Structure 1
Amino acid sequence: MVLAELVVVHSRAIAPTRRVALGEMHLPTEPEPGFGLLLLGCVAAAHVRSLDPDLRDDLVRLMHEVERGRRIVQPRLRHRFQNDRVGLLRSTHRLVGEGERIIPQIEDRDAPIPQVLGAVYAVGTLPLAVRPRAMEVVRRALRWPGEVDDRLIAHLSGRPAGPSLPVGADPRRWALGVFALDAAAAQDRRAVQQRFRELLRDAHPDHGAASEGAALRIAELAEARRILLT
């Protein structure tokens, strides 16, 4: 199921003139955080590391102007934003739901600047009241150091950044999966506490677990315990 879609239309990398436009868009903003906003964040996060550092100051200014609905002087980041799409390439980005998972499908045409610009200009198509929230998601994405995966989705949505906690999942079912408990066993608070201590010991580097990823695993266990004991 396609939850959100953004088509960025842009010139080829070797073209003498650099242009960018927006194509078809389906960017739901409700319920929060909004699948459309999550998609814009994924597009930005997927391409920001390829952005020339010399262009970042202009990007920050552009985001500020778009968020406030100001007139945008062109070109920006060496690309001219336009409505005409004739003769340009299309990059299609989607957020797809598969069961309880939300999967970003980000098309890469070796054109990172148009994709980041497309995400920013797409914010400008949203109602003014929504733009601050949308742009904050994009800003959060631009600071993301990792891959475009479940952890990014969790980060953008403001939920615990664990790969096992997809947006839209039932929290209790997720917690039962983390603890490998069935619903009947989870009714016993002492059993939940005991299982937490066992898994925490297994996850802690002091007991032989790998240091990499330990903090995330421990935070995941703590969140699962909170859910089951609430």
Structure 2
Amino acid sequence: MPDMMLAELQVFHSRPIAPTRRLALGFSTLPCDPAPGFGGVLLGAVAARFTPEVDPDLWPDLVSLTHEVEAARRVSQPRLRHRLQEDRIGLTRSSHRLFRNDQGILRATFNAEKGAPAQHVLGAIYAVQDVPVNLRGPVLGAVRRGLAWLGDIGPDLLLHLSGKSASSCHADAVGDPIGWAMGVLGISALDQRPEKAQIQRQFREALIDAHPDHGGDDGDAARRIADLSEARRILLTS
């Protein structure tokens, strides 16, 4: 089964040698509810992938720009040596995407062959202007985590961007955290939202079953226990 695309960011950009570089946004798919959602994870991943190649003198300005977008302020142009425009004529398109495989594991792909790194990062930030204001904080929080990321571009990054503490970056934990958490704890999705006592009881029972001393898989126990703890946290704090 081919991987399913969950989010896409399209950035149109001028050639890197242009005196004032230009960029525009394309037809992107960025689901961000519940935030940061697949869209926020992708935008943060784009920031993490390209920021190390941006002039370090511009990094503080990138962070400042995220706060301006979060506050829905008007951003004067050009900004950071780049001009955002609506017209895409004469610009080249690059697409960055987030996928899930048939096991529910997330992966990101980047079109890095064209455009300056700053154009891709700015595109990720400006794309949040189309996100509802009440969701911008968590989404731009993911972008800022991406701006500060120092590790490899892989599963650990996507987990970090999602804000989850479970050891596996499962798509359902990002797209439907409540449903995922109920499933992990063995609570039927047809039931009403469980009370605190039921959550704690299900957690304790599942924790016992997951432990190797009670028949749990030795190799899978750590991941399973981490998922159970994250599921309990989601249900107790939602």
TM-score range, shorter chain: 0.7 to 0.9
Letter in 2 for 1:40: L
Equivalent in the alignment of 1:103: 107
Q: Map residues 21-100 of structure 1 onto 2, 5 A cutoff.
A: 21-99=24-102, 100=104
| Contact persistence 2:166–2:226 (CA under 8 A) | no
How high is the TM-score relative to the length of structure 2? Answer: 0.72
Letter in 2 for 1:105: T
Q: Where does structure 2 lack aligned partners over 5 or more consecutive residues?
A: 174-179, 186-204, 232-238
1:134 to 129, 135, 139: 139
Equivalent in the alignment of 1:14: 17
Equivalent in the alignment of 1:181: none
SS of residue in 2 equivalent to 1:104:
strand
In structure 2, C-alpha distance between the alignment counterparts of 1:17 and 1:158, rounded to whole Å:
36
Q: Give 1:28 shift.
A: 0.7
In structure 2, C-alpha distance between the alignment counterparts of 1:108 and 1:174, rounded to whole Å:
37
Over aligned residues, Cα RMSD in angstroms?
Answer: 3.4
Letter in 2 for 1:101: I
Q: Residue 195 and residue 42 in structure 1: after superposition, are their counterparts in 2 closer, same or farther (change >3 A)?
A: farther
Matched, 1:112 2:117: yes
- Can you list the C-alpha shifts for 1:131-189, whole angstroms capped at 9, x where unaligned? 11211110111121112221111111111263x443326679999xxxxxxxxxx9893
Q: Give 1:224 shift.
A: 5.5
Q: Residue 131 and residue 198 in structure 1: after superposition, are their counterparts in 2 closer, same or farther (change >3 A)?
A: closer
SS of residue in 1 equivalent to 2:74:
coil
Equivalent in the alignment of 1:189: 208
| Contact persistence 1:101–1:167 (CA under 8 A) | yes
In structure 2, C-alpha distance between the alignment counterparts of 1:148 and 1:48, rounded to whole Å:
12
Q: Where does structure 1 lack aligned partners over 5 or more consecutive residues?
A: 176-185, 201-216
2:163 to 158, 161, 164: 158
| Contact persistence 1:150–1:166 (CA under 8 A) | no
Structure possessing the higher relative contact order (Cα contacts under 8 Å, 6 or more residues apart): 2
Equivalent in the alignment of 2:201: none
How high is the TM-score relative to the length of structure 1? Answer: 0.75
Q: Give 1:41 shift.
A: 0.8
| Contact persistence 2:211–2:221 (CA under 8 A) | no
Letter in 2 for 1:17: T
| Contact persistence 1:152–1:161 (CA under 8 A) | no
In structure 2, C-alpha distance between the alignment counterparts of 1:13 and 1:79, rounded to whole Å:
10
Q: Give 1:33 shift.
A: 3.3
What is the percent sequence identity of the aligned residues?
A: 44
SS of residue in 1 equivalent to 2:94:
strand
